[in-house]
Amino acid sequence: MKPLLLRGMLAVFLGVLIGISISLAPPLLADKNGGEDTLPWEQARVFAEVMQRIKQGYVDPVDDQALIEAAIRGMVADLDPHSAFLDDEEYREVRISTAGKYSGIGVEVGVEGDRIVVVAPLDGGPAQRAGIRAGDAIFSVDGLAVGPGDLADTVARLRGPSGTPVRLGIRRPGQSDPLSLELVRGQVEMHSVVAELKPAATGDAYPYVRISLFNEGTGRELRAALSRLRPAGGAAFPGLVLDLRNNPGGVLEAAGEVADIFLDSGLIVSADGRMSDARFSIEATPGDVLGGAPIAVLVNHGSASASEIVAGALQDHGRATIVGESTYGKGSVQTIMPLSDGRALKLTTSHYYTPSGKSIHDRGVRPDLIVPDALSGEADLQLDRALQALQGPHIAPRPGLALARPRAE
Protein backbone atom coordinates (compact mmCIF):
# COMPACT_ATOMS: atom_id res chain seq x y z
CA MET A 1 0.00 0.00 0.00
CA LYS A 2 1.24 3.46 -0.81
CA PRO A 3 2.21 5.39 2.36
CA LEU A 4 0.31 8.48 1.24
CA LEU A 5 -2.85 6.49 0.63
CA LEU A 6 -2.50 4.68 3.95
CA ARG A 7 -2.14 7.99 5.76
CA GLY A 8 -5.23 9.27 3.97
CA MET A 9 -7.33 6.29 4.96
CA LEU A 10 -5.99 6.46 8.50
CA ALA A 11 -6.90 10.14 8.67
CA VAL A 12 -10.46 9.32 7.67
CA PHE A 13 -10.65 6.68 10.40
CA LEU A 14 -9.14 8.95 13.03
CA GLY A 15 -11.51 11.72 12.04
CA VAL A 16 -14.46 9.43 12.63
CA LEU A 17 -13.14 8.37 16.04
CA ILE A 18 -12.38 11.94 17.07
CA GLY A 19 -15.86 13.04 15.97
CA ILE A 20 -17.42 10.32 18.09
CA SER A 21 -15.25 11.19 21.06
CA ILE A 22 -16.30 14.84 20.87
CA SER A 23 -19.96 13.83 20.82
CA LEU A 24 -19.76 11.43 23.75
CA ALA A 25 -16.92 12.28 26.08
CA PRO A 26 -13.74 14.31 26.58
CA PRO A 27 -11.50 14.01 23.49
CA LEU A 28 -9.32 10.94 23.13
CA LEU A 29 -5.61 11.66 23.32
CA ALA A 30 -3.61 9.78 20.72
CA ASP A 31 -0.32 8.42 21.98
CA LYS A 32 1.94 5.83 20.35
CA ASN A 33 2.86 4.52 23.80
CA GLY A 34 -0.69 3.24 24.26
CA GLY A 35 -2.71 3.27 27.44
CA GLU A 36 -6.34 2.92 28.49
CA ASP A 37 -7.49 6.26 27.03
CA THR A 38 -5.31 6.38 23.94
CA LEU A 39 -6.05 5.57 20.34
CA PRO A 40 -4.68 2.13 19.28
CA TRP A 41 -2.42 3.16 16.39
CA GLU A 42 -1.52 -0.35 15.28
CA GLN A 43 -5.19 -1.40 15.08
CA ALA A 44 -6.02 1.83 13.24
CA ARG A 45 -3.31 0.99 10.72
CA VAL A 46 -4.82 -2.49 10.23
CA PHE A 47 -8.26 -0.93 9.77
CA ALA A 48 -6.95 1.35 7.04
CA GLU A 49 -5.19 -1.56 5.34
CA VAL A 50 -8.33 -3.73 5.38
CA MET A 51 -10.42 -0.88 4.04
CA GLN A 52 -8.01 -0.27 1.21
CA ARG A 53 -7.90 -4.00 0.29
CA ILE A 54 -11.71 -4.01 0.16
CA LYS A 55 -11.74 -0.93 -2.07
CA GLN A 56 -9.17 -2.44 -4.41
CA GLY A 57 -10.26 -6.06 -4.55
CA TYR A 58 -13.96 -6.40 -3.67
CA VAL A 59 -16.01 -7.61 -6.63
CA ASP A 60 -18.23 -4.49 -6.63
CA PRO A 61 -17.31 -0.84 -5.99
CA VAL A 62 -17.87 0.21 -2.37
CA ASP A 63 -18.36 3.76 -1.13
CA ASP A 64 -15.96 5.04 1.56
CA GLN A 65 -18.78 6.37 3.70
CA ALA A 66 -20.66 3.07 3.52
CA LEU A 67 -17.55 1.16 4.58
CA ILE A 68 -16.86 3.43 7.54
CA GLU A 69 -20.49 3.34 8.67
CA ALA A 70 -20.46 -0.46 8.44
CA ALA A 71 -17.29 -0.49 10.55
CA ILE A 72 -18.94 1.73 13.17
CA ARG A 73 -22.02 -0.49 13.26
CA GLY A 74 -19.86 -3.56 13.68
CA MET A 75 -17.79 -1.93 16.42
CA VAL A 76 -20.88 -1.02 18.44
CA ALA A 77 -22.81 -4.23 17.76
CA ASP A 78 -19.85 -6.30 18.95
CA LEU A 79 -20.12 -4.77 22.44
CA ASP A 80 -23.40 -6.50 23.35
CA PRO A 81 -26.75 -7.32 21.70
CA HIS A 82 -28.39 -4.13 22.94
CA SER A 83 -25.92 -1.43 21.84
CA ALA A 84 -26.37 -0.07 18.32
CA PHE A 85 -25.46 2.71 15.91
CA LEU A 86 -28.71 4.35 14.72
CA ASP A 87 -29.11 6.17 11.43
CA ASP A 88 -31.49 9.13 11.23
CA GLU A 89 -34.53 6.95 10.42
CA GLU A 90 -33.80 4.48 13.23
CA TYR A 91 -33.22 7.33 15.67
CA ARG A 92 -36.51 8.93 14.67
CA GLU A 93 -38.34 5.64 15.32
CA VAL A 94 -36.76 5.42 18.78
CA ARG A 95 -37.89 8.95 19.61
CA ILE A 96 -41.42 8.18 18.44
CA SER A 97 -41.70 4.98 20.48
CA THR A 98 -40.30 6.76 23.54
CA ALA A 99 -42.58 9.79 23.31
CA GLY A 100 -45.60 7.67 22.36
CA LYS A 101 -46.90 10.23 19.85
CA TYR A 102 -46.32 11.22 16.24
CA SER A 103 -48.04 12.80 13.26
CA GLY A 104 -49.51 10.34 10.77
CA ILE A 105 -52.57 8.18 10.16
CA GLY A 106 -52.36 5.99 13.27
CA VAL A 107 -51.90 2.49 12.00
CA GLU A 108 -49.64 -0.42 12.89
CA VAL A 109 -48.43 -2.30 9.82
CA GLY A 110 -46.41 -5.44 9.20
CA VAL A 111 -45.35 -7.82 6.44
CA GLU A 112 -47.50 -10.85 5.66
CA GLY A 113 -46.22 -12.91 2.74
CA ASP A 114 -45.89 -10.58 -0.23
CA ARG A 115 -48.06 -7.81 1.24
CA ILE A 116 -47.93 -4.94 3.72
CA VAL A 117 -50.85 -5.58 6.03
CA VAL A 118 -52.59 -3.49 8.68
CA VAL A 119 -52.02 -5.15 12.06
CA ALA A 120 -54.31 -2.71 13.85
CA PRO A 121 -55.57 0.86 13.48
CA LEU A 122 -54.86 2.88 16.61
CA ASP A 123 -57.86 3.99 18.64
CA GLY A 124 -59.10 7.44 17.68
CA GLY A 125 -56.60 7.88 14.83
CA PRO A 126 -57.33 8.97 11.25
CA ALA A 127 -57.05 5.37 9.98
CA GLN A 128 -59.71 4.12 12.38
CA ARG A 129 -62.02 7.04 11.57
CA ALA A 130 -61.61 6.30 7.85
CA GLY A 131 -62.72 2.71 8.38
CA ILE A 132 -59.38 0.96 7.85
CA ARG A 133 -59.46 -2.50 9.42
CA ALA A 134 -56.98 -5.07 10.69
CA GLY A 135 -56.10 -7.36 7.78
CA ASP A 136 -56.37 -4.68 5.09
CA ALA A 137 -53.45 -4.85 2.66
CA ILE A 138 -51.87 -1.53 1.59
CA PHE A 139 -50.66 -1.74 -2.01
CA SER A 140 -50.07 1.97 -2.76
CA VAL A 141 -49.45 5.29 -1.00
CA ASP A 142 -50.22 8.44 -2.98
CA GLY A 143 -50.26 6.39 -6.18
CA LEU A 144 -46.85 4.79 -5.60
CA ALA A 145 -46.81 1.00 -5.30
CA VAL A 146 -45.49 -0.45 -2.03
CA GLY A 147 -44.51 -3.98 -1.09
CA PRO A 148 -42.90 -6.02 1.69
CA GLY A 149 -39.42 -4.81 0.77
CA ASP A 150 -40.53 -1.20 1.30
CA LEU A 151 -41.90 -1.43 4.85
CA ALA A 152 -39.70 1.30 6.37
CA ASP A 153 -40.30 3.57 3.37
CA THR A 154 -44.05 2.91 3.55
CA VAL A 155 -44.15 3.86 7.24
CA ALA A 156 -42.26 7.07 6.44
CA ARG A 157 -44.76 7.93 3.67
CA LEU A 158 -47.73 7.35 5.95
CA ARG A 159 -46.34 9.86 8.43
CA GLY A 160 -46.20 13.57 7.80
CA PRO A 161 -47.35 16.96 9.08
CA SER A 162 -50.80 17.14 10.69
CA GLY A 163 -53.48 18.34 8.28
CA THR A 164 -51.82 16.96 5.14
CA PRO A 165 -53.68 14.39 2.98
CA VAL A 166 -52.53 10.93 1.99
CA ARG A 167 -54.27 8.48 -0.36
CA LEU A 168 -54.06 4.74 0.23
CA GLY A 169 -54.75 1.85 -2.12
CA ILE A 170 -56.31 -0.94 -0.04
CA ARG A 171 -57.19 -4.55 -0.77
CA ARG A 172 -59.66 -5.86 1.78
CA PRO A 173 -60.18 -9.58 2.49
CA GLY A 174 -63.45 -10.79 1.01
CA GLN A 175 -63.75 -7.92 -1.48
CA SER A 176 -62.66 -8.32 -5.10
CA ASP A 177 -62.37 -4.60 -5.92
CA PRO A 178 -59.60 -2.48 -4.38
CA LEU A 179 -60.44 0.56 -2.28
CA SER A 180 -59.00 4.06 -2.58
CA LEU A 181 -59.17 6.01 0.67
CA GLU A 182 -58.02 9.57 1.31
CA LEU A 183 -57.05 10.35 4.90
CA VAL A 184 -55.87 13.51 6.62
CA ARG A 185 -52.89 13.03 8.89
CA GLY A 186 -53.18 14.08 12.51
CA GLN A 187 -51.51 13.73 15.91
CA VAL A 188 -51.53 10.10 16.99
CA GLU A 189 -50.94 8.75 20.48
CA MET A 190 -49.56 5.24 20.87
CA HIS A 191 -51.44 3.83 23.86
CA SER A 192 -49.51 1.31 25.90
CA VAL A 193 -52.23 0.37 28.42
CA VAL A 194 -55.40 -1.68 27.86
CA ALA A 195 -57.71 -2.31 30.83
CA GLU A 196 -60.92 -4.23 31.43
CA LEU A 197 -62.69 -6.35 34.04
CA LYS A 198 -62.09 -10.11 33.94
CA PRO A 199 -64.56 -12.51 35.57
CA ALA A 200 -63.11 -15.14 37.91
CA ALA A 201 -64.50 -18.63 38.56
CA THR A 202 -66.06 -17.34 41.79
CA GLY A 203 -68.16 -14.86 39.84
CA ASP A 204 -66.16 -11.84 41.03
CA ALA A 205 -64.70 -9.44 38.45
CA TYR A 206 -61.09 -8.34 38.78
CA PRO A 207 -59.40 -5.44 37.02
CA TYR A 208 -57.07 -6.66 34.27
CA VAL A 209 -54.41 -4.27 32.91
CA ARG A 210 -52.14 -5.10 29.99
CA ILE A 211 -49.07 -2.93 29.39
CA SER A 212 -47.63 -3.59 25.92
CA LEU A 213 -44.55 -1.33 26.29
CA PHE A 214 -43.23 1.46 28.49
CA ASN A 215 -43.23 4.97 27.03
CA GLU A 216 -43.42 8.43 28.55
CA GLY A 217 -47.22 8.24 28.91
CA THR A 218 -47.53 4.76 30.41
CA GLY A 219 -47.80 5.85 34.06
CA ARG A 220 -50.42 8.45 33.22
CA GLU A 221 -52.39 5.93 31.15
CA LEU A 222 -52.26 3.36 33.95
CA ARG A 223 -53.60 5.80 36.56
CA ALA A 224 -56.44 6.79 34.21
CA ALA A 225 -57.30 3.14 33.51
CA LEU A 226 -57.41 2.27 37.20
CA SER A 227 -59.62 5.29 37.84
CA ARG A 228 -62.09 4.06 35.19
CA LEU A 229 -62.14 0.55 36.67
CA ARG A 230 -62.51 1.60 40.30
CA PRO A 231 -65.61 0.02 41.88
CA ALA A 232 -68.72 2.16 42.25
CA GLY A 233 -68.81 4.39 45.27
CA GLY A 234 -65.02 4.39 45.58
CA ALA A 235 -64.90 0.90 47.11
CA ALA A 236 -61.53 -0.83 47.39
CA PHE A 237 -60.15 -2.90 44.53
CA PRO A 238 -60.50 -6.65 45.17
CA GLY A 239 -57.17 -7.23 43.40
CA LEU A 240 -55.49 -6.71 40.05
CA VAL A 241 -53.94 -8.71 37.22
CA LEU A 242 -51.03 -6.84 35.63
CA ASP A 243 -50.14 -8.45 32.29
CA LEU A 244 -46.54 -7.82 31.18
CA ARG A 245 -46.26 -10.80 28.83
CA ASN A 246 -44.32 -10.07 25.63
CA ASN A 247 -43.62 -6.53 26.86
CA PRO A 248 -40.14 -5.72 25.46
CA GLY A 249 -39.53 -2.79 27.83
CA GLY A 250 -38.96 0.85 26.98
CA VAL A 251 -38.44 3.92 29.13
CA LEU A 252 -36.89 3.02 32.49
CA GLU A 253 -38.45 5.99 34.28
CA ALA A 254 -41.90 4.78 33.14
CA ALA A 255 -41.21 1.39 34.74
CA GLY A 256 -40.33 3.16 37.98
CA GLU A 257 -43.55 5.16 37.80
CA VAL A 258 -45.66 2.03 37.26
CA ALA A 259 -44.06 0.18 40.18
CA ASP A 260 -44.47 3.28 42.37
CA ILE A 261 -48.23 3.24 41.74
CA PHE A 262 -48.43 -0.03 43.71
CA LEU A 263 -45.82 0.65 46.41
CA ASP A 264 -45.87 2.86 49.49
CA SER A 265 -42.12 3.09 50.03
CA GLY A 266 -38.77 1.47 49.36
CA LEU A 267 -36.29 1.01 46.56
CA ILE A 268 -37.68 0.18 43.11
CA VAL A 269 -34.48 -0.21 41.09
CA SER A 270 -30.85 0.84 41.29
CA ALA A 271 -28.23 1.04 38.56
CA ASP A 272 -24.44 1.00 38.49
CA GLY A 273 -22.16 2.13 35.66
CA ARG A 274 -18.86 3.87 34.96
CA MET A 275 -20.24 7.38 34.35
CA SER A 276 -21.70 9.38 37.23
CA ASP A 277 -25.12 9.70 35.60
CA ALA A 278 -25.18 5.93 35.01
CA ARG A 279 -25.29 5.36 38.78
CA PHE A 280 -28.74 6.09 40.18
CA SER A 281 -31.71 4.67 42.06
CA ILE A 282 -35.50 5.12 41.94
CA GLU A 283 -37.45 5.13 45.21
CA ALA A 284 -41.17 4.64 45.76
CA THR A 285 -43.25 7.52 47.09
CA PRO A 286 -46.15 7.17 49.57
CA GLY A 287 -49.47 6.06 48.12
CA ASP A 288 -50.47 2.57 46.93
CA VAL A 289 -53.43 3.12 44.59
CA LEU A 290 -54.75 -0.37 45.36
CA GLY A 291 -54.55 0.09 49.12
CA GLY A 292 -52.68 -3.18 49.54
CA ALA A 293 -55.08 -5.32 47.48
CA PRO A 294 -53.39 -8.41 45.99
CA ILE A 295 -51.66 -8.22 42.60
CA ALA A 296 -50.82 -11.01 40.17
CA VAL A 297 -48.23 -10.11 37.53
CA LEU A 298 -48.17 -12.17 34.33
CA VAL A 299 -44.77 -12.62 32.65
CA ASN A 300 -43.14 -14.85 30.06
CA HIS A 301 -39.86 -15.08 28.15
CA GLY A 302 -40.91 -12.08 26.07
CA SER A 303 -41.07 -9.86 29.17
CA ALA A 304 -37.84 -7.87 29.15
CA SER A 305 -36.02 -4.84 30.51
CA ALA A 306 -38.49 -2.30 31.96
CA SER A 307 -41.14 -4.98 32.45
CA GLU A 308 -38.60 -7.00 34.43
CA ILE A 309 -37.89 -3.95 36.60
CA VAL A 310 -41.58 -3.76 37.54
CA ALA A 311 -41.94 -7.51 38.12
CA GLY A 312 -38.68 -7.67 40.11
CA ALA A 313 -39.59 -4.71 42.32
CA LEU A 314 -43.09 -5.98 43.12
CA GLN A 315 -41.76 -9.49 43.77
CA ASP A 316 -38.91 -8.36 46.02
CA HIS A 317 -41.26 -6.25 48.10
CA GLY A 318 -43.75 -9.11 48.39
CA ARG A 319 -46.30 -6.86 46.77
CA ALA A 320 -47.29 -9.23 43.96
CA THR A 321 -47.40 -12.88 43.00
CA ILE A 322 -45.50 -13.40 39.74
CA VAL A 323 -47.23 -15.92 37.45
CA GLY A 324 -46.05 -17.47 34.19
CA GLU A 325 -42.57 -18.28 32.92
CA SER A 326 -39.12 -16.84 33.63
CA THR A 327 -38.55 -13.49 31.94
CA TYR A 328 -36.00 -12.64 29.25
CA GLY A 329 -33.14 -11.57 31.54
CA LYS A 330 -32.06 -8.14 30.29
CA GLY A 331 -30.45 -6.46 33.27
CA SER A 332 -28.83 -3.53 31.48
CA VAL A 333 -29.73 0.08 30.75
CA GLN A 334 -29.17 1.75 27.37
CA THR A 335 -28.63 5.48 26.89
CA ILE A 336 -29.44 7.20 23.59
CA MET A 337 -26.62 9.61 22.69
CA PRO A 338 -27.31 11.99 19.76
CA LEU A 339 -24.57 12.28 17.13
CA SER A 340 -24.16 14.44 14.04
CA ASP A 341 -26.51 14.43 11.02
CA GLY A 342 -29.50 13.15 13.01
CA ARG A 343 -27.84 9.88 13.97
CA ALA A 344 -27.40 8.45 17.45
CA LEU A 345 -25.59 5.86 19.53
CA LYS A 346 -27.59 3.48 21.71
CA LEU A 347 -25.03 2.40 24.29
CA THR A 348 -25.28 0.13 27.31
CA THR A 349 -24.23 2.35 30.21
CA SER A 350 -25.51 0.61 33.38
CA HIS A 351 -26.39 -2.69 34.98
CA TYR A 352 -29.53 -2.52 37.07
CA TYR A 353 -30.50 -4.37 40.23
CA THR A 354 -33.80 -5.29 41.86
CA PRO A 355 -34.53 -3.93 45.36
CA SER A 356 -32.90 -6.94 47.03
CA GLY A 357 -29.69 -6.23 45.09
CA LYS A 358 -30.08 -9.06 42.54
CA SER A 359 -29.04 -8.78 38.92
CA ILE A 360 -31.49 -10.54 36.62
CA HIS A 361 -29.13 -10.34 33.63
CA ASP A 362 -29.21 -13.63 31.67
CA ARG A 363 -31.33 -15.09 34.50
CA GLY A 364 -34.63 -13.28 34.35
CA VAL A 365 -37.26 -12.95 37.04
CA ARG A 366 -38.40 -16.38 38.18
CA PRO A 367 -42.17 -16.57 38.79
CA ASP A 368 -43.63 -17.55 42.14
CA LEU A 369 -46.12 -19.71 40.22
CA ILE A 370 -44.70 -21.32 37.08
CA VAL A 371 -47.37 -21.82 34.42
CA PRO A 372 -46.46 -22.74 30.82
CA ASP A 373 -47.15 -20.06 28.21
CA ALA A 374 -49.84 -21.95 26.33
CA LEU A 375 -53.48 -21.64 25.38
CA SER A 376 -56.01 -24.46 25.82
CA GLY A 377 -58.71 -23.85 23.23
CA GLU A 378 -60.00 -20.38 24.00
CA ALA A 379 -58.71 -20.45 27.59
CA ASP A 380 -55.67 -18.49 28.74
CA LEU A 381 -54.23 -20.85 31.35
CA GLN A 382 -51.79 -18.28 32.75
CA LEU A 383 -54.52 -15.69 33.18
CA ASP A 384 -56.79 -18.25 34.85
CA ARG A 385 -54.01 -19.12 37.29
CA ALA A 386 -53.36 -15.44 38.00
CA LEU A 387 -57.05 -14.89 38.83
CA GLN A 388 -56.94 -17.91 41.15
CA ALA A 389 -53.87 -16.47 42.88
CA LEU A 390 -55.80 -13.29 43.68
CA GLN A 391 -58.38 -15.31 45.60
CA GLY A 392 -55.87 -17.13 47.80
CA PRO A 393 -53.30 -15.96 50.35
CA HIS A 394 -50.78 -13.59 48.81
CA ILE A 395 -47.17 -12.97 49.75
CA ALA A 396 -46.56 -10.80 52.79
CA PRO A 397 -44.52 -7.62 52.28
CA ARG A 398 -40.81 -7.98 53.01
CA PRO A 399 -39.33 -5.25 55.20
CA GLY A 400 -35.89 -3.69 54.90
CA LEU A 401 -35.52 -3.61 51.13
CA ALA A 402 -35.28 0.19 51.09
CA LEU A 403 -31.66 -0.18 52.21
CA ALA A 404 -30.59 -2.57 49.47
CA ARG A 405 -27.96 -1.20 47.08
CA PRO A 406 -26.12 -2.69 44.12
CA ARG A 407 -22.57 -3.87 44.11
CA ALA A 408 -20.36 -3.44 41.10
CA GLU A 409 -19.70 -6.60 39.07
The question of whether 340 is a catalytic residue gets the answer no
Q: Residue 21 above 90 pLDDT?
A: no
**pLDDT recorded at residue 20:** 36
Q: What is the CATH code of the structural domain delimited by 101-189?
A: 2.30.42.10
Percent of the chain with pLDDT over 70: 85
Q: Residue 104 above 50 pLDDT?
A: yes
Q: What is the pLDDT of residues 161-187, one digit of tens each?
A: 899 999 999 999 999 999 999 999 998
SS (H, E, C) the chain: CCHHHHHHHHHHHHHHHHHHHHHHCCCCCCCCCCCCCCCCHHHHHHHHHHHHHHHHHCCCCCCHHHHHHHHHHHHHHCCCCCCEEECHHHHHHHHHHHHCEEEECCEEEEEECCEEEEEEECCCCHHHHCCCCCCCEEEEECCEECCHHHHHHHHHHHCCCCCCEEEEEEECCCCCCCEEEEEECEEEECCCEEEEEEECCCCCEEEEEEECCECCCHHHHHHHHHHHHCCHHHCCCCCEEEECCCCCCECHHHHHHHHHHCCCCCEEEEEECCCHHHCEEEECCCCCCCCCCCEEEEECCCCCCHHHHHHHHHHHCCCCEEEECCCCCCCEEEEEEECHHHCEEEEEEEEEECCCCCCCCCCCCCCCEECCCCEECCEEHHHHHHHHHHHCCCCCCCCCHHHCCCCCC
| Predicted structure pTM score | 0.77
Higher model confidence: residue 314 or residue 103?
314
The question of whether 243 is a catalytic residue gets the answer no
**pLDDT recorded at residue 330:** 94
In the chain, CATH 2.30.42.10 covers: 101-189
- If you average pLDDT over every residue of the chain, what do you get? 85
**pLDDT recorded at residue 31:** 39
Higher model confidence: residue 201 or residue 66?
66
**pLDDT recorded at residue 106:** 87
Percent of the chain with pLDDT over 90: 57
How confident is the model over 341-349, as a mean pLDDT? 93
**pLDDT recorded at residue 44:** 82
Q: Residue 47 above 50 pLDDT?
A: yes
Q: Which of 7-21, 101-115, 215-229, 310-324 has the lowest mean pLDDT?
A: 7-21
- Active-site entry in 140, 270, 305, 307: 305
Distance CA 254, CA 195 (A): 17
How confident is the model over 142-153, as a mean pLDDT? 87
Residue 19's pLDDT band (cuts 50, 70, 90): very low
Q: Which of 2-16, 248-262, 344-358, 381-395 has the lowest mean pLDDT?
A: 2-16
In the chain, CATH 3.90.226.10 covers: 193-403
How confident is the model over 272-283, as a mean pLDDT? 95
Q: Residue 271 above 50 pLDDT?
A: yes
**pLDDT recorded at residue 244:** 96
- Active-site entry in 260, 316, 332, 350: 316
Residue 393's pLDDT band (cuts 50, 70, 90): low
Higher model confidence: residue 225 or residue 66?
225
The question of whether 305 is a catalytic residue gets the answer yes
Regarding the domain with residue range 193-403, which homologous superfamily does it belong to in the CATH classification?
Answer: 2-enoyl-CoA Hydratase; Chain A, domain 1 (3.90.226.10)
- Active-site entry in 83, 307, 330, 380: 330
Q: Residue 17 above 70 pLDDT?
A: no
**pLDDT recorded at residue 12:** 46
Highest mean pLDDT among 25-34, 48-57, 112-121: 48-57
